[in-house]
Amino acid sequence: YTPLNAYLSIGPPARRIEELIALVEAGVVRMCLPGLRAEPEPESGGFVLRSAGGPAAGIRVSALIEARLSEPDVRTT
């Protein structure tokens, strides 16, 4: 119970947040909005990111990091 509680209520250490902010400011990491669809692009080995209100061509990226809290599921807790 304690590790799950800490994961959900405390969040990452402040140092990790600062590191992520630095990566965003350096243009290494870009944040995505909710509702985004990631589609594999086999020819490039990357992904195309699309959203309902975004450009039809989407945004091509070489790597994708899924860093969100998943929906609670009693089967996996």
pLDDT tens-digit readout, 30-59: 888 778 888 999 988 999 998 877 777 788
Q: From CA 26, how far away is CA 9, in angstroms rounded?
A: 29
Query: Phi first, then psi: what are they for 72, rounded to 5°?
Result: -60, 140
Go through 23-58 and write b for each residue having 16 or more CB atoms within 10 A of its CB, e for each that does not: eeeeeeeeebeeeeeeeeeeeeeebebbeeeeeeeb
pLDDT tens, 19-36?
999 999 999 998 887 788
With CA atoms as reference, report the closest residue to 65 among 46, 42, 43, 41: 46
Tell me, what amino acid is at 55? P
Count of CB atoms within 10 A of residue 75's CB? 4
pTM: 0.63
